[in-house]
Structure 1
Amino acid sequence: MEQQMLDADIYGPTTSRYYDRVYEQIRDPSGDIEFYRKLASDACGPVLELGCGTGRTLLAIATQGIPCTGLDASPRMLDVLRRKQPPPTLRLVCAAMQNFDLGADRFPLIFAGFRVFQHLYTVEEQLDCLACVRRHLAPGGCFAFDVFAPQLDRIRLVREPEREDVRFEQDDEEIVRYTAVDFDHTQQLMKLRMRYERSQAGEVIDNEIVEMRMRYFFRYELEHLLVRAGFEDVQIHGGFDGRPFDYVSGETIVLARG
């Protein structure tokens, strides 16, 4: 049986159930958690994460005793985080990152880890998010986020065929994720189709399909966008270790102050 979920449900039951297992394989070695943890420690104040999800990064910060707010549009992802029994200094808010209001709260650090900003598909959505960020930044505060750097050998393609990218075991089942990508270069969008194949004792018992889009950005496009939104000091790096930007690493790390 094949079940399918589209953009509105991308962080629904399937994604939230497997999220931590998937990304401990494909993301943890990048160094992003330590990068954001150090920024939070240096900020000397409360921290806001946009798109906090299951708390993969935010819990590493909150357990250091730093007051944190995690914002996410997916109730299911926040439910997964709550089941991890986060410290009382961590507050969770269910809201969209392009339309949130936390009252008088101001943060010396706001961040959006692991490609969260790429779920803003239009310039209007991006500017709305950046306006919300600036309203909630403390004076001199920093907005940090990461997106992938488009690799030229990939963006010349129209489609990448389905391939296996993750395999793991969970709840006495073997889960294999296969991902196919279609490119819409006029809109700078990647359309991903992720098929989670579930097996028991070597026999496939189900396939669950999740489809989602991701906006890709070029370096100077991001710089212009941030300046247009009112940020003045924009730094862009090519890795979480602070290396100079290039398109080889596949990473675009942004630090912006307004």
Structure 2
Amino acid sequence: MSIKHNTEEYDNPVLYDKENNRYTDDIPFLQKWASKAEGPILDIACGTGRATIPLAKSSHKIVGIDSHEGMLNEAKKKASKMKLPIKWIQQDCTKLELNIKTDFAFSVGNSFQHFLKNEDQDGLFSSVNRHLFQNGIFIFNTRFPSAEELLQPETEEHWYTYIDIDTQHKVDVSTIAKYDALNQLQYYTTIRKYKDETNHIVNEVSTNITLRYVYPKEMERMLANHGFEVIQIYQDWQENLITNDSYSMIFVCKKVSESCK
């Protein structure tokens, strides 16, 4: 499946914000690195600007890039209401041509997992490398491919419940996962059950998404091939180091040479 046809989870940007805007754990970490940067910062696969906007509010000059027109349009609306001077660019992140050089770029929200093929991953890292100054920093995160994460039962499992901010009604979110070990792809179906004030289901919507998993040593070799040195790998945004029990991998990388691709 191409990344361009893997967007069901993002075709409703307002719903995306309802379910994801409460997540801010990565913002202080990004703010720390942004404070060391000069010139424009690149938020790659920025979505609706969940991380872009807080950094802009802290007076950082920042550019948000994404391939999804609907997500970018929502980001533009929010930034415009706040009168934030963010530059938004719609481009394929595997083939970036920005006419910008920076010493800090990041991609958060596990966006890396949407680059499903080897050539997609190579294109991303090559694109980022081209737009970084020597010794520039690139930070990104992706889920850790633990046995618990990959070998989930292929049955519907409750994930979490939240209250819709508009209706004040409960939404139960569950998933069905199937792992393709040969291609390192996890196929997810997300099921949202919307309930009324009496707790009865009044609507049910399913969406599909495919995510790529990469192992730590595999990632280190890939980054090295694209001119990056891994400075550190954390398991969370509080800078705890990765372990066998980690859920996430946060890579802090430095450009040390040009990409081989």
Query: Is TM (by shorter chain) over 0.5?
Result: yes
Letter in 1 for 2:161: V
Partner of 1:111: 106
Letter in 1 for 2:106: F
1:9 aligns with 2:8: yes
- 1:171-186 to structure 2, matched below 5 A, reads 171-172=166-167, 173-186=169-182
Any conservation in 1 of the 2:150–2:186 contact (CA below 8 Å)? no
Match of 1:149 among 133, 138, 144: 144
1:201 aligns with 2:197: yes
Aligned-CA RMSD value: 1.9
2 CA distance for matches of 1:163 and 1:113? Answer: 25
Tell me how far 1:80 sits from its aligned partner: 1.7
1:5-60, Cα deviation, whole Å (9 max, x unpaired): x72433112xx1222221245x43xx211111211112233100111111111111
Partner of 1:97: 93
Percent of matched pairs sharing the same residue: 23
2 CA distance for matches of 1:232 and 1:160? Answer: 40
Q: Which runs of 5+ in 1 are unaligned?
A: 1-5
Q: Cα 1:17–1:175, aligned 2, differ >3 Å: closer, same or farther?
A: farther
2 CA distance for matches of 1:179 and 1:158? Answer: 10
Q: Which runs of 4+ in 1 moved over 6 A?
A: none
2 CA distance for matches of 1:88 and 1:60? Answer: 10
Match of 2:27 among 13, 28, 33: 33
Tell me how far 1:160 sits from its aligned partner: 5.1
Deviates more, 1:131-140 or 1:148-157: 148-157
1 CA distance for matches of 2:148 and 2:189? Answer: 20
Q: Which runs of 5+ in 2 are unaligned?
A: 256-261
1:249 aligns with 2:246: yes
1:65 aligns with 2:59: yes
Q: Cα 1:91–1:17, aligned 2, differ >3 Å: closer, same or farther?
A: same
2 CA distance for matches of 1:99 and 1:147? Answer: 20
Any conservation in 2 of the 1:198–1:206 contact (CA below 8 Å)? yes
Letter in 2 for 1:231: F
Any conservation in 2 of the 1:65–1:89 contact (CA below 8 Å)? no
Tell me how far 1:111 sits from its aligned partner: 0.4
**Residue 83 of structure 1: SS of its match in structure 2?**
helix
Any conservation in 2 of the 1:179–1:192 contact (CA below 8 Å)? yes
Q: Cα 1:158–1:200, aligned 2, differ >3 Å: closer, same or farther?
A: closer
Tell me how far 1:110 sits from its aligned partner: 0.7
Partner of 1:3: none
Any conservation in 1 of the 2:191–2:205 contact (CA below 8 Å)? yes
2 CA distance for matches of 1:155 and 1:8? Answer: 21
Partner of 1:189: 185
Any conservation in 2 of the 1:158–1:184 contact (CA below 8 Å)? no
Match of 1:219 among 213, 216, 221: 216
**Residue 228 of structure 2: SS of its match in structure 1?**
coil
- 1:227-246 to structure 2, matched below 5 A, reads 227-246=224-243
Any conservation in 1 of the 2:64–2:89 contact (CA below 8 Å)? yes
1:172-220, Cα deviation, whole Å (9 max, x unpaired): 2433322221111111111111112223333433222110011111110
1:102-134, Cα deviation, whole Å (9 max, x unpaired): 02x111111000100110011110001111101
Any conservation in 1 of the 2:229–2:253 contact (CA below 8 Å)? yes
1 CA distance for matches of 2:170 and 2:74? Answer: 21
TM-score, normalised relative to structure 1 = 0.88
Tell me how far 1:157 sits from its aligned partner: 4.2
Match of 1:20 among 8, 17, 20: 17
Paired residue total? 247
Letter in 1 for 2:173: R
